[in-house]
Amino acid sequence: MNRRDAFSVRLLLALGIAGVTRGETWTTAVGEKFEGTLSGVYGATAIIAGKTGSARVPLETMDDGALGRVADFLAAKSGGSGAWNASSSTVAKSLRNRLQVLRDGKLVAYEVGTRPEPEVYLVYFGARWCGPCRRFSPELVQAYQKLKKIAPDRFELVFISSDNDDDEQRLYVREVGMPWPVLKYSSVGRVEPLEKWKGNGIPCLVAVTREGDVLYHSYRGTEYLGPQVVLRQVEQMFGAAAGGDDETKRGTHRLAVLQHVRKAVGATTMAKPHLIVFDPRRYRTLTEKVINATLAIDARGRVTAASFEPALPTVLEFQLQQDAATWLFLPALENGQPKDVRVVLPLHL
Question: What is the helix (H) or strand (E) element at residue 323, kind and residue range?
Answer: helix 314-324
Residue 252's SS3 state is coil
Tell me if the domain spanning 3-16+83-241 has CATH number 3.40.30.10.
yes
Distance, CA of 303 to CA of 300 (rounded, Å): 9
Residue 174's SS3 state is helix
pLDDT above 70 as % of the chain: 91
In angstroms, the Cα distances linking 316 to 78, 282, 289, 319, 322 are 44, 8, 15, 5, 10
Distance, CA of 256 to CA of 213 (rounded, Å): 27
**Residues 146-197: tens digit of each pLDDT:** 999 989 999 999 999 999 999 999 999 999 999 999 999 999 999 999 999 9
pLDDT at position 284: 86
Following CA atoms 197, 199, 204, 210 in sequence, which dihedral angle do they give, to the nearest 10 degrees?
Answer: -10
- Paired sense of beta strands 99-103 and 182-183, if any: antiparallel
Residue 42's SS3 state is strand
- CB 215 within 8 Å of CB 238: no
Residues 6+ apart with CB under 8 A from 221: 15, 16
Residues 6+ apart with CB under 8 A from 33: 25, 26, 27
pLDDT at position 22: 54
- CB 19 within 8 Å of CB 203: no
pLDDT at position 244: 67
- Give the start-to-end residue ranges of the domains of the chain: 3-16+83-241, 266-348
pTM of full prediction above 0.75: no
- CB 126 within 8 Å of CB 137: yes
- CB 330 within 8 Å of CB 272: yes
| Below-70 pLDDT ranges, the chain | 1-22, 79-80, 242-244
Distance, CA of 215 to CA of 120 (rounded, Å): 9
